[in-house]
Structure 1
């Protein structure tokens, strides 16, 4: 499997895990963005797997807040 396909697959898995954790808490991405004091667009980019430094920082915070390790 080419590297790009691995990256896309990993990004989809991360997105699914985050969305599942949100659903279990009854939260929306808008709720989470508000709790993190960031825009919904920033959160969406992080959830979708952006590789920017800021997106990675946001994901780390999201994992902690949602109890994902």
Structure 2
């Protein structure tokens, strides 16, 4: 599998895991964004796998809040 396909697959897997964790808590992305004091757009970019430093920081916080492993 080419590198870009592997990256896309991993990105979708992380997005799915975050969404499942939200469902388990009964939270919406809007609620999580409010809780993190960020915009829904920032949250969406982080969940969708943006590689910016800020998106990575947001994901790390999401993993902690949702009880997910970040490794």
TM-score tier by shorter-chain length is: over 0.9
Query: Which SS does the other structure have where 1:68 is aligned?
Result: coil
Distance of 2:44 and 2:19 partners within structure 1: 11
Q: Which runs of no fewer than 5 residues in structure 2 stay unpaired? A: none
Give the TM-score taking structure 2 as reference length.
Answer: 0.96
Give the TM-score taking structure 1 as reference length.
Answer: 0.98
Give matches, 1:44-55, under 5 Å. Answer: 44-55=44-55
Q: CA RMSD in A?
A: 0.4
Task: Name segments (4+ residues, structure 1) moved above 3 Å.
Answer: none
Provide the residue aligned with 1:10 in structure 2. 10
Figure out how many residues of one structure are paired with residues of the other and give that number: 69
